[in-house]
């Protein structure tokens, strides 16, 4: 890898890690509150999985930033302020109702199913290995959330109404997933990462197919609320306050 691309790849990986971490934390709020016990367990496990994936991306980021991969991830997660997080706004939105959280996780899972196989052939070997490891597990996530989208879409008028409403709210936010990141073209030219713009078309086709099977219409167009990952909604601050409270109250504590 060209040395001058190292910081750009590090930023790219930090964005992926932050997306997974914030989504995982939001979804963990369902623990003890999901509509049925089995789903409480499933959704919690899904959140733990995403957190594990975030951990792997943070390690790669640490390597590229010449930081210790064992300790740096915790510092990033627990001691950064909101403006320094690089997640898209979709993952920080309040958990909403069950349809909202499930649809958000589903749209994210489809996106991962699109770019993980490409990342698995990255010219940066550690990235390729991590993506290939994560892709194997993501298959289970998508299978689960796909089934729920069908269930809610074709369930009752109430579940359909809630899912449609969630779709209207989330859709523009989901499009931020495909906003190119800084230096993405240079990174792609070196075979390090795939282009997000190409992923968007594949993502749309996959989502459309699942929506058809769920009696949902694909929304027309739409624009993401922002194209800058440094910009956040007010919800991130509240999330971080809770997520970071123990680590900040007792720095260095282990449990």
Partner 1 sequence: MQEVTGLPTIPQIWEALEGVKDPEIPVVSVVELKVARQVEVDGSHIRVTITPTFAGCPALSAMRDEIRSTLLGLGFETAEVSLKLDPPWTTDDLSQETLARLRQFGLSPPPKHGGNVRLVLDQPAACPYCGSDDTQVKNDFGSTACRSIHVCNNCHQPFEAFKPL
- Does the footprint of partner 1 cover residue 53 (CB under 8 A)? yes
CA-derived radius of gyration, the chain: 18
Q: Is 111 in the site for partner 1 (CB under 8 A)?
A: no
Among the listed ranges 133-141, 153-161, 198-206, 235-243, the one in contact with partner 1 (CB under 8 A) is 133-141
Residue 67 binding partner 1, by CB under 8 A: no
Q: Does 151 bind partner 1 (CB under 8 A)?
A: no
Does residue 230 interact with partner 1 by CB under 8 A?
no
Identify the residue among 2, 143, 161, 212 touching partner 1 (CB under 8 A): 143
By CB under 8 A, is residue 202 in contact with partner 1? no
C-beta closer to partner 1: residue 92 or 138: 138
136 touching partner 1, by CB under 8 A: yes
d(CA 124, CA 10): 12
Stretch that binds partner 1, among 37-45, 81-89, 199-207, 212-220 (CB under 8 A): 37-45
In the complex, what is the shortest distance from the CB of residue 116 to partner 1, in angstroms, rounded to a whole number? 12
Of 1, 51, 199, 247, the residue at the interface with partner 1 (CB under 8 A) is 51
How many residues bind to partner 1 according to rule CB under 8 A? Answer: 27
Distance CA 128, CA 73 (A): 20
Give the separation between CA 104 and CA 81, rounded to whole angstroms: 24
Work out whether 82 is an interface residue with partner 1 (CB under 8 A).
no
Contact between 49 and partner 1 by CB under 8 A: the answer reads yes
39, 67, 169, 215: which one contacts partner 1 (CB under 8 A)? 39
Secondary structure of the chain in the HEC alphabet?
Answer: CCHHHHHHHHHHHHHHHHHHHHHHHHHHCCCCCCCCHHHHHHHHHHHHHHHHHHHHHHHHHHHHCCCCCCCHHHHHHHHCCHHHCCCCHHHHCCCCCHHHHHHHHHHHHHHHHHHHHHHCCCCCHHHHHHHHHHHHHHHHHHHHHHHHHHHHHCCCHHHHHHHHHHHHHHHHHHHHHHCCCCCHHHHHHCCCCCCHHHHHHHHHHHHHHHHHCCCCCCCCCCCCCCCCCCCCCCHHHHHHHHHHHHHHHCCCCCC
Position 234 contacts partner 1 (CB under 8 A)? no
Q: Which is nearer to partner 1, 43 or 106 (CB)?
A: 43
Residues that bind partner 1 (CB under 8 A): 38-39, 41-43, 45-46, 48-53, 55-56, 59, 129-130, 132-134, 136-137, 139-140, 143-144
């Amino acid at each position: 890898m060209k040395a001058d691309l190292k910081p750009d790849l590090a930023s790219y990986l930090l964005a992926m890690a932050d997306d997974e971490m914030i989504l995982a934390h939001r979804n963990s709020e369902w623990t003890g509150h999901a509509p049925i016990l089995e789903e409480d367990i499933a959704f919690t496990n899904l959140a733990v999985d995403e957190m594990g994936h975030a951990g792997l991306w943070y390690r790669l980021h640490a390597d590229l930033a010449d930081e210790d991969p064992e300790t740096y991830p915790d510092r990033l997660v627990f001691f950064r302020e909101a403006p320094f997080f690089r997640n898209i706004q979709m993952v920080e939105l309040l958990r909403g109702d069950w349809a909202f959280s499930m649809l958000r996780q589903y749209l994210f899972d489809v996106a991962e199913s699109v770019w993980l196989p490409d990342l698995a052939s990255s010219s940066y070997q550690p990235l390729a290995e991590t993506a290939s490891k994560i892709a194997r597990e993501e298959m289970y996530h998508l299978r689960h959330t796909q089934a729920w989208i069908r269930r809610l879409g074709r369930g009752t008028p109430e579940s359909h109404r809630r899912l449609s409403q969630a779709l209207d709210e989330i859709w523009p936010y989901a499009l931020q997933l495909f906003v190119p990141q800084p230096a993405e073209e240079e990174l792609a030219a070196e075979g390090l990462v795939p282009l997000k713009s190409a992923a968007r078309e594949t993502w749309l086709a996959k989502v459309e197919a699942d929506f058809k099977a769920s009696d949902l219409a694909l929304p027309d167009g739409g624009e993401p609320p922002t194209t800058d990952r440094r910009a956040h909604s007010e919800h991130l601050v509240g999330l971080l306050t809770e997520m970071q409270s123990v680590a900040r109250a007792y720095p260095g504590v282990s449990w």
